């Protein structure tokens, strides 16, 4: 209980800090949201009317405290750029980003772990060396470029893959898969290329440990040794890494959503920053902070599920 | 084993989460693109997906100002009049009008069978409401300065609407198109942005920020023959590369294509080249040294090679200009001005020396980063200007900063920008340049130009108007108000089965006559 | 796994009561750069049914590798059994397939290791880890295996066995974990229990308990024990027969009493003298000078020669063979060769 | 024996650690690693401290050296109470007390050559010329039985026994009065262990060193020590001359401990005292005598009252109610004895 309270306090402090930093950045960033939105063709009269109407004539710190005030009542405010409530915009886009994140993580887990095991079993053999080289390559690939490649080779040749836009799961599961698979692969492939190495090393490290010898001495076959004991134990360090990549994946979605025209949080964030949409930026930043802290929390809980030493201490 | 149970619980929990999330996404959204070419066999397609670079600023036509918004929403709205593809006007909600001899009173005859998308007929009260809203009569929040000189408005009967001006304005009719004054229903007050209702050939279905704007056929459109399409989806995609791929994958039916990528699409898609009436310029802050001196501006004009820029930035798909006015404006355009400053380095050096800068000078060219076009132009220009000793530092800034610093703050030396096309010759020449325009960021100041622009508003005779507009163009060229480089073409690539693609001298993707032929 | 070259000649002591016969065992480690560590070099010995044999040596002498070779758990690579024969009740272990070997491990041979703190899998319950063996070898159902596990825990001295099966290793002390290890090793009534330094990491008072328990278990299950240790005290108290290893080879083999009273090999002698004895007051300990030679670079002659007080010229030239000097007392030393004829064939 | 010079006096020393595993709890959950320990160390002697894991013997050594801050109690070195010294003075006294660790490798900088490892303390504190320094380093290195050639080698090039020699050389170069050796030979092979023990004894004679020798190995402690203290759960349960402790142990724990040692003696079978269970946790020690949970002679009083160290024979003190039953009648004499804990 105390642990959960501490977590919640940490979450609140982090969110407050992040929002303050965002505020500070906006303080020094030039650019008037109304003008950016309307462009040079706007009628001055109209700009004046709108600025007043949206309260943007107020100094930024007043806007900030208004926003904080709203936040305390659960109101994230109104987006300037889209003339819609921030919460509505964020919630509309959540399914996309969350689906993409979960799909990416699933891909990473489903590929990196078996691949890591595969390579660990063949330590220092040819396949191990080959995959290590692939790692180097994987780390060097920029994700937008990889996205383009995937679009060119998969998107263009298989109508199953969609190269642009999003189809909600409720409309068509196949459509949603088609829309998300390429972007998920785009984020996942470099992650897999790097992370399977960690899995390999975690497993190799476990294989060195005394308990493995004990298990073997009981006459347990190598398959069981690997999948029941070693893998389960390796999950603890692996989980740490996967907790970390979640943040990287969320960051990855920002670029990939641009490339694939996916209407997710990342795309919204970029738009909101370039349009100086202060309430929207704050809303998204709060959301992302929440997600990252929440995932860390989840990882901690998973730790305790996996590791009785944590659970029972 | 107990641990397996715990794992199972965890995995099911995750699954439930995913399902819940996806269920929330629910309701609407685009259907999957099962309409890939070749898949449907017989039926002629009646739905189209058009790629647009970014979201509209507002759906409320009175709030919207970005040209990109009108590109879409003009399909939903009409004014009393409508622009034609050649820059002239045609009747719309007003069937006809009369102008009094003193040029002050406009009497509009309202078309009978026009209804709003919500089924209500258009009444003179709605028209009255529209103009009052724009003028801020009741709210005190004016949304346009176009109607400052309106003396009165009245509706003597249900089919007639009369507007009286305080002084003649030959450009006034251009304020009555949907670009400036879309007629909207009074009953929809306060909801124009969330649920836009107009009288145009298409009606609003949904808008998902960052995703798309969906319109559908207005079955009760007063012109019974139009439109042809049942559904139009404007999908937002800012990245040209991705858009091109989506076009090739059959997910988009229509998109603009950067000129240098035309070879990739010209075999499989139908291309249309829109002379879009926008002028790419490099201009100066003419209040400060050295650009307050006309000789310096002329020297820059002589030094810059328009053809270099057109070739390198637009792959040749552009027309050289001599002033703001583009050949797209037909008779208003003065032919020949583009040759006022033919690339001549010696001449440029001479002028610079006369102005007191025999060794040139250092300056800064500030451009926005939101379109690579500006940076590309700036690089060519900097190369050109180096030849006459002008050392140009290129400063690339964010669009918001450009607007703040250059456009509004006028805190700059040189900049490159394109001025969006307008249907009205007056607007093209007056905006940004005339000293009575608040948007004069060049700080151009020429008494004769201002006089000509004032005279033209009072001149009822069209031929004489043309003469005045042409004089204005001459002044801009002579005074080297800017380096008028080119009207670049927007190249549209579309499904080859599409027909009826109309092009206007401003940003408008007219969907009303568009249809698939097979 | 490539099967090593097997000595086909029949065991000289193919007696009925022989449980384990190790013959000419040779295990190498290939540590790169062409270096070969001869961790176990031509080791032969046997264990009778019900007998406790101690394998004594300092670190690096090859005693642990010998035990791991027997159950074929040498980390491979880099280790490899290159020669020899290991027979359990006459059945050659080195030629068994990995699957068949798995049926021997835990079933015919149980093993206890030195590090009770780390030798149990930290994420599974005690019950699970005991039952795993039972389910594999005795083909018990899960519930039956757990029931049996509780019985085993009671036998090894857990009063609250029902609770302990639900606990995790970290909840137990070192001594308790070693009891669990014994329970696991004994779960399938193995014929041979290999205990690799089972009490080294434990406190003296606990060590005594564990040694007692092992002896009890041996009697109860009628197993034999191969006890690997460096503690001469433990050897004296528990073992019937002793094998002393040095430099990967057995240098002396004798019944426990003989070894202590009629010590032959200079290394064994020095070893015994260098240990402080609680019952004997010595002003100074005898110590063996120098250190053991590196296992990847043994000298040509006797491996102990460089540290031996009685070193002769011959010792530097020729490595002596293990010769039976007295009944059941063998030694690998040139000093005894002149009297060796009696018992060496 | 009072005339003997006390080098070090420890009075009621306590070292408690917060128990991190139990958050939000009061002092009750402290780990009492050292719980009221008092003894003296005389000049030139070796005091052995034996105990099983968790008995607090290592913590005791570290606390005396002030590597850990004591929770309570006094440490008096050559008559100076270390608690009352300023930091600078403390620093000076610390030089007189040095520690030899179980794992010499962990305490030797792997990137330093032997000559620098050994010479570093010399360079710091003495006004010697380079040549004199080098000579002194060589002297010390040869004293501990290493060759001149080893001077320019790195620690990893040595075996465990040799590393322990380097560790000892390094300590010797500080010219200490007291060396606290914490399990100095338990990581070594038996043959090497005897070399190091012999070395330590030789050095003691030569340099008039005083040792506090901490080990779990009763045989080793017996061999090297003059007096022996037995620790159990943070307390000293018995302390006295080696001959008394090993021949006539009084405390039931000491007795059990001694009888548990496996020995090679085939003629006389020793009677074994088998202790049940393992030592309880220091974070939750039993009340009264901490040994009562395992003691074959425990009676009611043991569960309630903590026994104090009482002298039973010359220099042999035992903390056990079995022996001071009679003193309970005479409260005053008992208190008297408690005030002078050590000889």
Cα–Cα distance measured from residue A191 to residue A199, given in angstroms and rounded to the nearest whole number? 12
The answer to whether the pTM exceeds 0.80 is no
Q: How far is C229 from chain A (nearest CA, A)?
A: 18
Contact D224, D46 (CB under 8 A): yes
Neighbouring CB atoms inside 10 A of D18's CB total: 13
Six-digit token string for B211: 């995703």
Q: Do the chains contact at A216 and C137, CB–CB below 8 Å? A: no
Among A241-245, B174-178, B376-380, C341-345, name the one with the lowest average pLDDT: C341-345
Q: Number of Cβ pairs closer than 8 Å across A and B?
A: 201
Q: Please, is C284 exposed, middle or buried when counting C-beta atoms within 10 Å of its C-beta (0-12, 13-18, 19+)?
A: exposed
**pLDDT at residue B231, as a whole number:** 93
Contacts for B368 with CB less than 8 Å, ≥ 6 apart: B374, B396, B397, B398, B399, B401, B402, B417
Chain B residues lying within 8 Å of A171, measured CB to CB: 29-32
Establish if A98 touches chain B: CB-CB under 8 angstroms: yes
Which of A216, A218, A309 has the CB atom closest to C122's CB atom? A309
Q: How far apart are CA B490 and CA B486, in angstroms?
A: 12
C7, pLDDT greater than 70: no
CATH number for the region B279-489 comes to 3.10.105.10
Q: Report helix angle A86-121 to A278-306, nearest 10.
A: 40
Would you call B330 helix, strand, or coil by DSSP? helix
Residue A1 pLDDT greater than 50, yes or no? yes
- The first and second tokens of residue D39, run together, are 């003894």
CB pairs < 8 Å spanning A and C: 80
Tokens at residue A250, please?
Answer: 């969320």
pLDDT of residue D270: 66
| Dihedral sign from CA coordinates of A25, A29, A31, A37 | negative
Say yes or no for a CB contact (<8 Å) between A44 and B438: yes
Q: A309 and C168: CB-CB below 8 Å?
A: yes
Q: What is the ipTM of this complex?
A: 0.65
- On whether any CB of chain A is under 8 Å from the CB of C212, the answer is no
In chain A, DSSP assigns E strands to none
Q: Give the pLDDT score at A202.
A: 86
Chain D residues near residue C203 by CB distance under 8 angstroms: 52-53, 216, 278-279
Structure token digits, residue C45: 């010995």
Q: How far is CA A68 from CA A13, A91, A283, A291, D232, in A?
A: 14, 19, 11, 19, 60
> If you average pLDDT over every residue of chain C, what do you get?
82
Contacts D24 to A, Cβ<8 Å: 2
Boundaries of CATH 3.90.76.10 in chain B? 77-188
- Categorize the per-residue pLDDT at D25 as very low, low, confident or very high, splitting at 50, 70 and 90: very low
pLDDT value for C242: 92
Euclidean distance between CA atoms B230 and B202, whole angstroms: 9
Average pLDDT over residues A42-59: 80
Band of pLDDT at residue B185, cut at 50, 70 and 90: very high
- Report the distance separating Cα C82 and Cα C63, nearest Å: 17
Nearest in space to A163 (alpha carbons), one of B270, B68, B264, B36: B36
Please state, as a whole number, how many other Cβ atoms lie within 10 Å of the Cβ of residue C119.
26
Chains D and B touch (3+ CB pairs under 8 A): no
Confidence check: pLDDT of D269 > 70: no
Mean pLDDT across the stretch A299-304? 80
Whether omega before C324 lies within 30 degrees of 0, making that bond cis, reads no
Using the Cβ of C16 and the Cβ atoms of chain A, whether some distance falls under 8 Å is answered with no
DSSP structure string for C169-183: GGGS-HHHHHHHHHH
Tell me which DSSP letter residue B115 carries: B
Angle between helices A278-306 and A265-274 (to 10 degrees): 150
Q: Which residues of A touch D21 (CB under 8 A)?
A: 313
Which is nearest to B49 in space by CA: B254, B258, B257?
A: B254
D24 CB near a chain A CB, below 8 Å? yes
Give CA separation, B352 vs A51, A225, B284, B288, B345, in Å. Answer: 44, 85, 15, 16, 10
Are B412 and B285 within 8 A, CB to CB? Answer: yes
For residue C304, what pLDDT is reported?
A: 87
pLDDT by residue (tens digit) across A221-231? 788 888 888 88
Pair of tokens at residue D40: 């003296």
DSSP single-letter state for residue D305: S
Contacts of D284 (CB under 8 A, 6+ apart): D29
| Whole-angstrom distance, CA of residue B399 vs CA of residue A276 | 11
Neighbour count for residue B19 (Cβ, 10 Å): 12
* Cα–Cα distance measured from residue A254 to residue A269, given in angstroms and rounded to the nearest whole number: 8
Stretch among A24-28, A69-73, C99-103, D27-31 having the lowest mean pLDDT:
D27-31
The closest alpha carbon to B128, from B75, B80, B88, B174, belongs to B80
Cα dist from C124 to A212, A309, C152, whole Å: 12, 10, 18
Domains of chain A: 86-312 (1.10.3720.10)
C166 or D84, higher pLDDT:
C166
- Architecture per CATH, domain B40-76+200-269+495-518, reads as 3-Layer(aba) Sandwich (3.40)
Supply the DSSP symbol for C105.
Answer: B
CA of C59 to nearest chain D CA: how many angstroms apart? 7
Residue C181 neighbours by CB under 8 Å, 6+ apart: A214, C112, C113, C116, C119, C120, C198
Question: Which chain B residue lies closest to A256 (C-alpha atoms)?
Answer: B242
In D127-156, the residues whose Cβ lies within 8 Å of chain C are none
Chain A CB within 8 Å of residue D20 CB? no
* Cβ pair C132:A209 closer than 8 A: no
On the CB side of B117, CA atoms within 13 Å amount to: 23
Give the model's confidence band at B32: pLDDT under 50 very low, under 70 low, under 90 confident, else very high: very low
**Is pLDDT at B352 greater than 80 in this prediction?**
yes
Q: Which of A128, A204, A212, A218 to mutate to test the interface with C (most CBs of C within 10 A)?
A: A218
Q: What is the DSSP letter of A153?
A: I
C-alpha pair distances (Å), A55 with each of A286, C82, D58:
22, 85, 69
Query: Do D162 and C261 count as a contact with CB atoms less than 8 A apart?
Result: no
- What are the φ and ψ backbone dihedral angles of D180, each rounded to 5 degrees? -100, 115
- Torsion-angle region of C222 (φ positive above 0: left; ψ -120 to 50: alpha; else: beta): left
The architecture in CATH of the region B77-188 reads Alpha-Beta Complex (3.90)
Q: Which residues of D touch A313 (CB under 8 A)?
A: 21
Specify whether the CB–CB gap between A262 and A100 falls below 8 A: yes
At residue D263, the 3 state secondary structure works out as coil
H or E element, residue A145: helix A143-150
Q: What is the pLDDT of residue B493?
A: 93
CA distance B300 to B288: 15
Nearest-neighbour CA in chain C from D257: distance (Å): 6
Question: D33 with D15: CB under 8 angstroms?
Answer: yes
Q: For position C339, what pLDDT does the model report?
A: 61
The stretch C169-181 carries a mean pLDDT of: 83
Q: Give the range among A248-257, D6-15, D200-209 with minimum mean pLDDT.
A: A248-257
Closest CA in chain D for residue A313: D21
Identify any residues that bridge with C250 across adjacent strands, giving them in sequence order: C245
Q: Residue C344: what pLDDT? A: 39
User: What value does the mean pLDDT of chain D take?
Assistant: 80
Number of other residues whose CB lies within 10 A of the CB of residue B113: 11
Q: What is the rounded average pLDDT of the residues B360-370?
A: 89
Alpha helices in B119-195 (DSSP H): 124-135, 178-181
Neighbours of chain C (3+ CB pairs under 8 A): A, D
Among A residues 181-220, those touching chain B with beta carbons less than 8 Å apart? none
The encoded tokens of residue C237 equal 């108290």
Rounded CA-CA distance B467/D86 in Å is: 101
The whole-angstrom separation of Cα D216 and Cα D50 is 5
Burial B181-210 (b: 16+ CB within 10 A, else e): bbbbbeebeeebbeebbbbbbbbbeebbbb
pLDDT over 80 at A160, yes or no: no
Alpha-helical runs (H) found in B74-122: none
The Cα B153–Cα B109 span in angstroms is 14
Q: Which residues of A touch B411 (CB under 8 A)?
A: none
Contact present, B242 and A145 (Cβ < 8 Å) = no
Cβ-based neighbours of D49, under 8 Å, separated by 6 or more: D57, D60, D61, D212, D213, D214, D215, D221, D228, D229, D231
Q: Which tens digits make up the pLDDT trace of B2-26? A: 445 555 555 555 555 444 444 444 3
Question: Is there a contact between D219 and C275 if contact means CB atoms under 8 Å apart?
Answer: yes
Chain B positions touching A55 (Cβ under 8 A) are none
Tell me where in chain B the CATH 3.10.105.10 domain(s) lie. 279-489
Task: Answer whether A270 touches B (CB < 8 Å).
Answer: no
Domain span(s) for CATH 3.40.190.10 in chain B: 40-76+200-269+495-518
Task: List C-alpha distances in Å: B331 to B93, B327, C199.
Answer: 27, 8, 106
Alpha-carbon separation of residue C15 from C11, C47, C55, C190, D274 (angstroms):
9, 11, 22, 20, 38
What pLDDT is stored for residue B50 in this prediction?
A: 94
Q: Which residue matches tokens 């074929």? A: C72
Coil, strand, or helix at residue B285? coil
Subunit contact A2:D21, Cβ cutoff 8 A: no
């Amino acid at each position: 209980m105390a642990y959960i309270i501490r977590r919640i306090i940490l979450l609140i402090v982090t969110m407050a800090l992040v929002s303050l930093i965002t505020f500070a950045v906006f303080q020094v960033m030039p650019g008037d949201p109304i003008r950016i939105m309307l462009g040079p063709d706007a009628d001055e009269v109209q700009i004046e009317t709108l600025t007043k109407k949206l309260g943007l004539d107020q100094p930024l710190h007043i806007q900030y405290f208004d926003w904080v005030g709203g936040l305390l009542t659960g109101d994230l405010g109104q987006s300037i750029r889209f003339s819609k409530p921030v919460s509505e915009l964020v919630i509309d886009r959540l399914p996309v980003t969350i689906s993409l994140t979960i799909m990416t993580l699933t891909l990473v887990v489903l590929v990196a772990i078996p691949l890591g095991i595969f390579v660990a079993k063949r330590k220092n053999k040819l396949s191990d060396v080959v995959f290590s080289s692939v790692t180097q390559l994987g780390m060097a690939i920029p994700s937008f470029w990889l996205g383009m490649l995937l679009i060119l080779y998969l998107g263009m040749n298989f109508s199953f893959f969609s190269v642009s836009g999003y189809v909600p799961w409720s409309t068509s599961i196949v459509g949603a898969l088609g829309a998300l698979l390429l972007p998920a692969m785009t984020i996942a492939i470099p992650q897999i290329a790097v992370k399977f190495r960690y899995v390999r090393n975690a497993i190799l490290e476990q294989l060195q440990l005394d308990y493995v010898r004990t298990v073997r001495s009981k006459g347990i076959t190598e398959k069981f040794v690997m999948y029941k004991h070693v893998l389960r134990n390796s999950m603890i360090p692996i989980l740490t890494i996967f907790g970390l990549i979640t943040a990287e994946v969320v960051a990855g979605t920002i670029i990939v959503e641009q490339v694939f025209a996916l209407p997710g949080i990342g795309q919204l964030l970029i738009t909101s920053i370039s349009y100086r949409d202060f309430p929207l930026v704050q809303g998204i930043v709060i959301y992302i902070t929440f997600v990252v802290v929440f995932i860390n929390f989840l990882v901690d809980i998973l730790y305790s599920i996996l590791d009785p030493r944590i659970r029972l201490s | 084993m107990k641990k397996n149970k715990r794992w199972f619980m965890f995995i099911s929990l995750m699954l439930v989460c995913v399902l819940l999330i996806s269920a929330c996404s629910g309701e609407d959204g685009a259907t999957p693109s099962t309409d890939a070419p070749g898949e449907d066999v017989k039926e002629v397609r009646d739905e189209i997906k058009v790629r647009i670079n970014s979201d509209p600023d507002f759906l409320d036509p009175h709030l919207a100002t970005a040209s990109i918004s009108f590109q879409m929403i003009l399909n939903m709205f009409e004014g009393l009049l409508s622009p034609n593809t050649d820059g002239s006007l045609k009747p719309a909600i007003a069937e006809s009008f009369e102008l009094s001899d003193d040029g002050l009173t406009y009497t509009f005859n309202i078309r009978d069978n026009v209804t709003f998308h919500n089924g209500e007929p258009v009444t003179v009260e709605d028209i009255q409401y529209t103009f009052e809203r724009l003028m801020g009569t009741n709210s005190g929040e004016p949304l346009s300065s176009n109607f400052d000189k309106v003396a009165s408005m009245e509706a003597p009967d249900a089919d007639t609407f009369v507007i009286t001006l305080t002084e003649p304005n030959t450009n006034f009719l251009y304020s009555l198109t949907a670009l400036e004054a879309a007629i909207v229903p009074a009953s929809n007050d306060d909801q124009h942005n969330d649920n836009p209702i107009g009288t145009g050939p298409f009606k609003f279905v949904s808008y998902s920020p960052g995703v798309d704007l969906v319109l559908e056929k207005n079955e009760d459109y007063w012109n019974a023959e139009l439109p042809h399409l049942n559904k139009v989806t404007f999908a937002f995609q800012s990245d040209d590369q991705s858009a091109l791929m989506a076009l090739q994958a059959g997910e988009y039916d229509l998109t603009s294509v950067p000129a240098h990528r035309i070879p990739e699409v010209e075999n499989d898609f139908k291309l249309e080249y829109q002379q879009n009436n926008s002028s790419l310029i490099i201009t100066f802050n003419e209040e400060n040294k050295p650009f307050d001196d006309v000789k310096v501006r002329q020297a820059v004009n002589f030094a810059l090679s328009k053809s270099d820029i057109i070739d390198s930035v637009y792959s040749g798909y552009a027309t050289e200009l001599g002033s703001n006015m583009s050949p797209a404006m037909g008779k208003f355009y003065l032919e020949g001005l583009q040759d006022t400053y033919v690339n001549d380095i010696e001449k440029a050096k001479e002028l610079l020396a006369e102005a007191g800068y025999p060794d040139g000078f250092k300056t800064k060219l500030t451009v926005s980063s939101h379109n690579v076009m500006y940076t590309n132009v700036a690089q060519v220009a900097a190369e050109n200007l180096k030849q006459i000793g002008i050392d140009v530092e290129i400063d690339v800034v964010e669009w918001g900063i450009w607007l703040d610093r250059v456009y509004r703050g006028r805190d700059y030396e040189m900049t490159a920008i394109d001025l969006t096309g307008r249907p009205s010759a007056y607007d093209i020449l007056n905006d940004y340049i005339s000293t009575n325009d608040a948007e004069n960021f060049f700080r151009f100041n020429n008494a004769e130009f201002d006089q000509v622009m004032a005279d033209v508003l009072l001149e009822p005779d069209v031929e004489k108007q043309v003469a005045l507009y042409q004089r204005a163009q001459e002044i801009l060229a002579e005074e080297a108000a800017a380096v008028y480089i080119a009207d670049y073409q927007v190249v549209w690539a579309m499904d080859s089965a599409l027909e009826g693609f109309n092009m206007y001298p401003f940003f408008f993707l007219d969907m009303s006559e568009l249809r698939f032929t097979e | 796994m490539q099967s090593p070259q097997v000595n086909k000649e029949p065991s000289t002591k193919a007696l009925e009561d022989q449980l384990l016969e190790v013959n000419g065992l040779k295990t190498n480690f290939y540590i790169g750069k062409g270096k070969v560590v001869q961790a176990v070099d031509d080791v032969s010995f046997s264990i009778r049914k019900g007998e406790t044999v101690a394998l004594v040596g300092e670190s690096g002498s090859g005693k642990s590798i010998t035990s791991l070779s027997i159950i074929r758990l040498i980390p491979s690579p880099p280790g490899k059994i290159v020669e020899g024969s290991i027979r359990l009740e006459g059945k050659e272990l080195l030629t068994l397939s990995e699957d068949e070997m798995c049926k021997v491990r835990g079933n015919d041979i149980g093993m206890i290791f030195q590090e009770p703190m780390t030798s149990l899998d930290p994420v599974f319950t005690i019950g699970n880890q005991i039952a795993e063996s039972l389910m594999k070898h005795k083909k018990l159902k899960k519930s039956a295996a757990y029931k049996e596990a509780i019985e085993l825990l009671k036998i090894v001295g857990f009063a609250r066995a029902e609770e302990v099966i639900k606990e995790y290793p970290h909840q137990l002390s070192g001594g308790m974990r070693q009891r669990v290890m014994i329970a696991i090793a004994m779960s399938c009534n193995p014929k041979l229990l290999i205990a690799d330094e089972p009490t080294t990491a434990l406190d003296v008072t606990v060590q005594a308990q564990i040694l007692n328990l092992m002896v009890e278990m041996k009697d109860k299950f009628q197993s034999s024990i191969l006890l690997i240790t460096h503690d001469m005290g433990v050897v004296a108290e528990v073992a019937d027969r002793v094998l002393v290893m040095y430099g990967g080879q057995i240098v002396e083999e004798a019944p426990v009493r003989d070894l202590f009273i009629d010590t032959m090999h200079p290394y064994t002698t020095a070893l015994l003298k260098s240990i402080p004895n609680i019952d004997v007051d010595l002003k100074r300990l005898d110590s063996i000078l120098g250190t053991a030679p590196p296992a990847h670079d043994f000298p040509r002659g006797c491996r102990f020669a460089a540290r031996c007080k009685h070193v002769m010229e011959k010792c530097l030239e020729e490595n002596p063979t293990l010769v039976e000097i007295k009944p059941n007392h063998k030694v690998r030393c040139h000093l005894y060769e002149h009297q060796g004829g009696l018992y060496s064939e | 024996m009072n005339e003997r010079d006390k080098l070090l006096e420890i009075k009621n020393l306590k070292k408690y650690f917060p128990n991190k595993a139990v958050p939000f709890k009061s002092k009750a959950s402290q780990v009492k690693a050292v719980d009221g320990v008092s003894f003296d160390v005389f000049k030139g002697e070796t005091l052995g401290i034996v105990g099983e894991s968790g008995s607090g013997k290592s913590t005791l050594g570290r606390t005396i050296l002030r590597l850990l801050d004591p929770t309570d109690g006094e440490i008096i070195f050559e008559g100076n109470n270390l608690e009352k010294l300023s930091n600078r003075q403390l620093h000076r006294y610390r030089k007189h007390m040095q520690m030899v660790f179980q794992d010499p490798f962990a305490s030797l900088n792997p990137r330093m050559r032997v000559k620098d490892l050994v010479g570093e303390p010399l360079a710091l504190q003495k006004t010697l010329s380079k040549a004199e320094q080098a000579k002194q380093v060589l002297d010390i290195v040869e004293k501990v039985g290493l060759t001149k050639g080893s001077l320019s080698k790195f620690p990893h090039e040595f075996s465990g026994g040799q590393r322990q020699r380097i560790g000892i050389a390094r300590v010797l170069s500080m010219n200490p009065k007291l060396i606290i050796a914490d399990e100095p030979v338990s990581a070594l092979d038996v043959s090497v262990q005897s070399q190091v023990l012999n070395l330590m004894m030789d050095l003691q004679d030569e340099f008039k060193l005083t040792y506090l020798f901490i080990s779990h190995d009763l045989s080793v402690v017996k061999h090297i020590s003059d007096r022996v203290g037995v620790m159990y759960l943070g307390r000293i349960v018995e302390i006295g001359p080696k001959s008394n402790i090993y021949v006539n142990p009084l405390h039931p724990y000491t007795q059990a401990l001694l009888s548990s040692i496996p020995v090679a003696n085939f003629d006389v079978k020793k009677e074994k005292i088998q202790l049940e269970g393992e030592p309880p946790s220091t974070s939750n020690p039993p009340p009264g005598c901490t040994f009562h949970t395992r003691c074959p002679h425990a009676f009611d009083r043991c569960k309630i009252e903590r026994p104090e160290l009482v002298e039973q024979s010359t220099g042999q003190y035992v903390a056990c109610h079995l022996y001071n039953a009679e003193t309970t009648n005479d409260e005053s004499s008992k208190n008297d004895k408690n005030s002078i804990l050590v000889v």
